[in-house]
Amino acid sequence: MAIKKFNPTTPGRRQMTGYTFEELTTSKPYRNLTIKLQKHAGRNNSGRITVRHQWGWVAQRYRLVDFYFHDKIDIEAKVETIEYDPYRTAYIALVCYRDGERRYVLAHKDMKVGDVIVTKKEAGLASGNRMEIGNIPVGMQVYNLELIVNSWASSIRSAGTSGLVFSQEWEYSQVKMPSGEIRLVHKKCYATLGQVSNIDHNQVVIGKAWRSRHMGVRPTVLWKSMNPVDHPHGWWEGHSPIGMKAPKTPWGMPALGYKTRSRKKITNKWILKTRKGKLLIK
């Protein structure tokens, strides 16, 4: 994917970049696979802000992307369109299965109209095919990874990401996640071969504040500019030091270097090596 630059007609346009959308084949979604989601601008049923930095702006329709696949095993599908999805960073593809049903799936970086993909226990080693991770050779890139057998693809779905099949031992596969973490995944879990589309997403420069507002993001205020009732760092005139040994969150917890993941989390036992390189299972 190519990134386009804008002419420096204004200070905001000087560094701004955007997508060329040259991979897309249509500008309108398949209406039967879209729904309208109600925007709440980060507020609960009482009108209080529970999620900061959100507001409603452009009307969007949510695309019903398939992450399950288990009811389409051994049924080939043909790619009809490559489309933009306003609710995710990756591109999506509209596929038509051999039985006539159409569904949206995450597109890989080389997917084109006319490609044929299939989900089966042991499929061909072509990007877009989905199979049990125990049948995928070591060194292959995967995405749309299942972490629980007969569940849905819950990991490695962001633009440009991919995991690596690190090892095949006993009844588990070792998968290196995009974060660098190495996880144990049961060999009966399914994964899709390839790398997620829109690989240059992280190269896009927003450029100006209004573009973020257009995407539904409200500004973030510096903590030292707040009042004491709003943040522990508040009410320091002239942006003096925060007056404490280490920064805190608005709720008083350490902001830097503090592990928030529960030590009792049941899935900890499937983490072989953390993203920091610490070996957890010996």
Question: Phi and psi of 268, rounded to 5°?
Answer: -60, -30
**Are 210 and 218 contacting, i.e. CB atoms less than 8 angstroms apart?**
no
Quote the CA–CA distance of 127 and 109 in Å, as a whole number: 9
Percent of the residues in the chain that have a pLDDT greater than 90, as a whole number: 77
Tell me which CATH code domain 3-201 carries.
Answer: 2.40.50.140
Q: In the chain, what are the domain boundaries?
A: 3-201, 221-282
What string of DSSP letters covers 79-105? Answer: EEEEE--TTSSS-EEEEEETTS-EEEE
Residues in the chain, total: 282
Per residue in 68-125, pLDDT tens? 999 999 999 999 999 999 999 999 999 999 999 999 999 999 999 999 999 999 999 9
Q: What is the CATH class of 221-282?
A: few secondary structures
Per residue in 158-181, pLDDT tens? 999 999 999 998 899 999 999 999
- Cα 247-248-252 angle, rounded to 5 deg: 155
**Whether the domain at 3-201 and the domain at 221-282 fall into the same CATH topology:** no
Question: Phi and psi of 79, rounded to 5°?
Answer: -75, 125
**Are 234 and 227 contacting, i.e. CB atoms less than 8 angstroms apart?**
yes
> Residue 250's closest CA among 56, 54, 53?
53
Strand, helix or coil at 135? helix
pTM of model > 0.85:
yes
